[in-house]
A = this chain, B = another copy of it.
Amino acid sequence: MKRTTIAQLNANPAAFADKDVVVCGWTRSVRDMKNFGFVTLNDGSCFADLQVVMNVGEVDNYAQVAALGTGSAVCVHGVVALTPERPQPFELKAAKIVILGESAPDYPMQKKRATREFLRTQQHLRSRTNLFRAVFRVRSVAAFAIHQFFQERGFVYVTTPIITASDAEGAGEMFRVTTLDVDNPPRTPDGAVDWSQDFFGKATNLTVSGQLQAENFAMSFGDVYTFGPTFRAENSNTRRHAAEFWMIEPEMAFCDLEGDMDVAEAMLKHVIRRVMDACPDEMAMFNKFVDKGLAERLEHVASSDFARCTYTQAIEILTAAQAAGHKFEYPVSWGIDLQTEHERFLTEKHFQRPVFVTDYPREIKAFYMRANDDGKTVAAVDCLVPGIGEIIGGSQREERLDLLEARIHELGMDPEQYKFYLDLRRYGTCEHAGFGLGFERLVMYLTGIDNIRDVLPHPRTVGNADF
């Protein structure tokens, strides 16, 4: 007999009333009341547990089941009984319980409250807790919502390469990828490591961004997006940094900075709505136990128009706040890179909603961003959200060949390495824009979880590559 999931039962209990079903799952608790007992079962198909009732006379291995520890795997054959008078709308009256796998007594996920720090040492088991089951379901629903958003709008999904011979934008430290014998690498006559003998015939790294390659495809498909892993070998042990994380990078031809912001705003709202609709139990749990303001904040973001201001206006706002007595750790002046404290002041205190800050000083932004006419700023945009700060960074790209070439020379970059990127400006260039969204930041934002290690299935951070 085919198994029925608890999600299927919950979706329409009445349809299963008095029917025989088989439900397989893991025990969360077993209570023995002598002549009868309860098994609380979860099968991972939804947040809710299933209440199983068993009677001594009816379940022939009653004693064995009653002795099961938390986390045992069982299949329950039984009849669905509607229970409008009880807290749960239905229960399963067991006729037969097959024990598939007992849980050893040293099971680390006993029902007592474990700290998130401890659970990080149990990454293979922690998704059996309510908290992590909720986190990873929301992560999955959010990922699909992103694909849906772009696919429904005709964007083409492009998987950009993970192994790359370029350093993209010089953004951060990179991991070397090699098949050379590190103990004894081949050498050139002058004693240097001979990278020409490496697997790809040159030195290669893990990508920090798929943007430049995404542009190749935006210039033929118009609208494209990436969604894949990216890497930073930064030695920063913070709650917000992982060495391996997933990024979404849309890139749109015939699109300026305004259009870029429109897409980013619509995308965030779509994902929030979708997660709130698809995961009401999970979201209620986060709101209750993780972050009490979460539901209100997300509802607010999903229903308000995002503010938009220039970097120059933002500096004026921050300077005024400073003058009025607000203390910032990093002093404010035109030209600085905004720190998280500044970003959070803008979005939480001043605008009290998400805000796009645009037109940053050229010197603090990447070479490919489009020069504004003022000669000082570029058409960059960061999206700041309450509780997090920057969640999205984007820009209109420099589509003018002469300006882009000049900038590459000015920064001492190797034009030969960017030949393909310059070609896009040689052959049918057009205005285009895009942005990058760190997927884990988004999941943190959606769940209220404040440590990136707790939204990655198996996080990779300095000193940690377990499981």
Interfacial residues, chain A to chain B (CB-CB below 8 A): 3, 5, 7, 24-27, 43-45, 71-73, 75, 100-104, 107-109, 123-125, 127-128, 133, 136-137, 139-140, 143-144, 147, 151, 154, 156-165, 173, 175-180, 182-183, 185, 192-193, 199-202, 204, 206, 213, 216-217, 219-223, 228-229, 231, 233, 235, 243-244, 246, 253-254, 399, 420-421, 423-431, 456-458, 460, 462-467
**Other-chain contact of A5, B72, B216, B222, B425 (Cβ < 8 Å):** B222
Can you offer 6 A-B residue contacts whose CB atoms are under 8 A? A27-B428, A44-B253, A128-B220, A159-B229, A164-B465, A199-B235
Residues of B within 8 A of A185 (CB): 182-183
Contact check, A127 vs B216: say whether CB atoms are below 8 A apart: yes
Cβ–Cβ contact A101 & B428, under 8 A: yes
| Among candidates B123, B137, B216, B458, residue contacting A124 with C-beta atoms closer than 8 Å | B216
Take A175-B178, A183-B192 as given contacts and tell me if A136 and B217 are in contact as well, using a CB distance cutoff of 8 Å: yes
**How long is the Cα–Cα vector from A202 to B219 in the complex, in angstroms?**
42
Shortest A400–chain B CB gap in Å is 9
Contacts of A462 in B (CB 8 A): 199-200
Which one, B101, B162, B204, B420, contacts A467 given CB within 8 A? B420
Q: Which 7 A-B pairs have the closest CB atoms?
A: A101-B429, A44-B221, A200-B465, A73-B430, A124-B420, A140-B157, A127-B220
Report the bound CA distance from A163 to B459 in whole Å.
10
A202 cross-chain contacts in B, Cβ below 8 A = 465
Q: Which residues of B contact A201 (CB under 8 A)?
A: 463-465
Residues of B within 8 A of A123 (CB): 216, 420
Closest residue on chain B to residue A22 by CB atoms: B254
B162, B173, B176, B460: the one within 8 Å of A161 (CB): B460
